[in-house]
């Protein structure tokens, strides 16, 4: 199984514009206290390509969430730019509003197929 979480974390943190927009709050966890923030997690990771009954590639789906008390647009643009530089393509994006916390939430899913 391919682990893309470390590479993704490093790339998101290396995007200086994104890092500054969220004051360095880029987490693999979902427990938030300060905004704006970016969180991410692996949705699926499975062997998808086989040759002679042996897997040689995985399909991986990651979700990146932007959390903000205001607009998520500038942060989402930087996340999208970084994920595409890693070879991911965006498969979905949703603008949400968390009524209980009054936080704007942009949920974005990205996919990649990678050989190992």
| CATH code assigned at 10 | 3.30.2000.30
Check: CB of residue 40 under 8 Å from CB of residue 62: yes
Report whether pLDDT(1) > 90: no
Three-state DSSP at 5 gives helix
Query: How many domains is the chain partitioned into structurally?
Result: 1
Check: CB of residue 46 under 8 Å from CB of residue 2: no
Report whether pLDDT(32) > 80: no
Supply the pLDDT for residue 30: 67
In whole numbers, what is the pLDDT of the chain averaged over residues? 95
Supply the pLDDT for residue 33: 75
Q: How far apart are CA 48 and CA 90, in angstroms?
A: 19
pLDDT tens digit sequence for 46-55: 999 999 999 9
Report whether pLDDT(28) > 90: no
| Pick from 39, 113, 31: nearest CA to 76 | 39
Range of the domain at 34: 5-115
Report whether pLDDT(114) > 90: yes
């Amino acid at each position: 199984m391919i682990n893309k979480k470390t590479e993704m974390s490093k790339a998101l943190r290396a995007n200086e514009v994104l890092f500054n927009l969220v004051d360095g709050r880029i987490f693999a966890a979902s427990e938030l206290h300060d905004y704006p923030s970016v969180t991410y997690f692996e949705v699926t990771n499975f062997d998808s390509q086989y040759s002679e009954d042996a897997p040689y590639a995985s399909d991986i789906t990651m979700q990146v969430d932007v959390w903000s008390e205001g607009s998520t647009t500038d942060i989402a643009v930087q996340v999208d730019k970084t994920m595409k530089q890693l070879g991911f393509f965006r498969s979905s994006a949703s603008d949400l509003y968390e009524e209980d916390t009054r936080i704007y939430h942009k949920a974005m899913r990205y996919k990649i197929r990678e050989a190992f």
